Amino acid sequence: MEHNELVQLCEQKAKAWLAGNYNEQTKTQVRQMLENEDKTLLIDSFYQDLEFGTGGLRGIMGAGSNRMNIYTVGAATQGLANYLKAQFADIEQISVVVGYDCRNNSQYFAGIVANIFAANGIKVYLFENLRPTPEISFAIRHFKCQSGVMITASHNPKEYNGYKAYWNDGAQFIAPHDTNVIDEVNKITNIDDIRFGGEEKSEKHNHAEIEIIGEDIDKIFLENVKKLSLSPDAIKRNSDLKIVYSPIHGCGRVLIPRVLNELGFTNVITVPEQMVQSGDFPTVASPNPEEPAALELAIKKAQSVDADIAMASDPDADRLGITVKNTEGEWILINGNQTFMIFIYYLLTKWKENGKLSGNEYIVKTIVTTEIIKDIAEKFGVEMFDCYTGFKWIAAIMRENEGKKAYIGGGEESYGLLAETFCRDKDAVSACALMAEITAWAKDNGKTWHQMLQDVYIEFGYSKEKGISVVRKGQSGAAEIKQMMTDYRQKPPTEIAGSGVLKIKDFQTLKQKNILENTETDLEMPTTSNVLQFFTEDGTKISVRPSGTEPKIKFYIEVRDKLKNREDFEATEKRAEQKIQAVTGSLGI
* Residues that are catalytic: 154
Q: Which amino acid is present at 557?
A: I
In sequence order, what are the residues at sequence separation of 6 or more whose Cβ sits closer than 8 angstroms to the Cβ of residue 8?
none
Q: Which residues partner with 296 through β-bridges?
A: none
1-8 LR contacts (CB < 8 Å, sep 24+): 6/43, 6/47, 6/475, 7/39, 7/42, 7/43
Helix (H, G, I), strand (E, B) or coil at 413: coil
Shortest CA distance to 316 belongs to which of 136, 51, 52?
A: 136
Longest dimension (CA), the chain: 71
Q: Which residues partner with 210 through β-bridges?
A: 124
**Measured between alpha carbons, how far is 135 from 222 in angstroms, rounded to an integer?**
9
Strand 95-100 with 361-366, pairing = unpaired
Q: Which residues partner with 499 through β-bridges?
A: 496
Chain centroid to CA 151: how far? 14
Give the phi and the psi of residue 219 in degrees, each rounded to 5. Answer: -60, -45
**Measured between alpha carbons, how far is 461 from 376 in angstroms, rounded to an integer?**
10
**Measured between alpha carbons, how far is 132 from 584 in angstroms, rounded to an integer?**
36
Shortest CA distance to 426 belongs to which of 530, 313, 327?
A: 313
